[in-house]
Amino acid sequence: MATGGLLAGRLALVSGAGSGIGRAICQAFAKEGAILAAVDVNKNNAESTLSMLQDGPHAAFSVDISSSSEVNAMMAQIKSHFSQPLIVAVSAAGITRDHFLLKMEEKHFDRIMDINLKGTFLLNQAVGRAIRDAETKDGSIINISSISALRGNIGQANYCASKAGVIGLTKTAAKELAKFNIRVNAVLPGFIETPMTDVVPERVRDIVSLLIPLGRFGRPEEVADTCVFLASDKSRYVTGACLEVTGGLYM
């Protein structure tokens, strides 16, 4: 385990830790000395993420982030497992269920809202309470939204609405939690190479890449580096912000 670093000794919860951006955040945080509570609906995947890190007192936990009872149980497990209080949390769990608006099924709208928006709400509420009660200084909550929240995206009415909701939630949480020394920010990735975008057809990827000023999809670690900044004291006067990590994509 890294002994120094921007996040030395800080306990950080990352949801969606078993894949893609969440996994990269765990790796980047660990490199900066954080202790990870890696949470995912699939605990084996979260454990795989931890197996990629240098040894440390990290632990994996299973949770369906859309269930308040599971979130509360996970928070109790984290509290009893670690000796130090939670100080950082990243809400990176998310899914897509794409279809055109006129063909989208209600159940797919509801599931997206449950995981992407309500799950982020439940995590912000639970972590906000935990950090407030521990009276730790300089808590940081980071919500992974999407550039699609601002621009819309064909076939993603449900997803874009959920991610726009995450921005409203973030800005309100930033105002309400500032008095407890908790900062809350959102990261808005563009197109990032993860299992979520593996399904994008080759011809669509080529078109999208032409629209990205930096000319390529992003890498999960490029989102993770932004999260390191937001989790650390380097961003101590940043709250309620939306940081775009898009290679300049604006469409």
Site residues for ligand NAP per CB under 6 A: 15-16, 18-22, 40-42, 45, 63-66, 92-95, 115, 119, 144, 146, 189, 191-192, 194-197
When the beta carbons of 91 and 140 are compared against ligand NAP, the nearer one is 91
Shortest distance (Å) from residue 119 CB to ligand NAP: 6
At 138, list the tokens.
């300089």
Phi, psi of 53, rounded to the nearest 5 degrees: -95, 160
* Residue 159: active-site member: yes
When the beta carbons of 143 and 239 are compared against ligand NAP, the nearer one is 143
Phi, psi of 14, rounded to the nearest 5 degrees: -130, 120
Task: Name the active-site residue from 61, 109, 159, 191.
Answer: 159
For residue 199, what are the CA distances in angstroms to 97, 98, 161, 203, 205? 12, 11, 21, 12, 10
When the beta carbons of 111 and 171 are compared against ligand NAP, the nearer one is 111
When the beta carbons of 128 and 190 are compared against ligand NAP, the nearer one is 190
The span from the CA of 105 to the CA of 190, in Å, is 25
The span from the CA of 52 to the CA of 25, in Å, is 12
Taken in order 124, 139, 239, 1, the sign of the CA dihedral is: negative
The span from the CA of 5 to the CA of 69, in Å, is 35
Shortest distance (Å) from residue 192 CB to ligand NAP: 4
When the beta carbons of 12 and 136 are compared against ligand NAP, the nearer one is 12
Amino acid, res. 91? S
Phi, psi of 108, rounded to the nearest 5 degrees: -80, -30
Q: Is 214 helix (H, G, I), strand (E, B) or coil?
A: coil
**Packing angle of the helix pair 157-177, 119-134 (nearest 10 deg):** 20
Shortest distance (Å) from residue 125 CB to ligand NAP: 15
* DSSP one-letter string for 215-226: -S-B-HHHHHHH
Shortest distance (Å) from residue 58 CB to ligand NAP: 16
The span from the CA of 50 to the CA of 223, in Å, is 19
Shortest distance (Å) from residue 181 CB to ligand NAP: 26
Residues classed as catalytic: 159
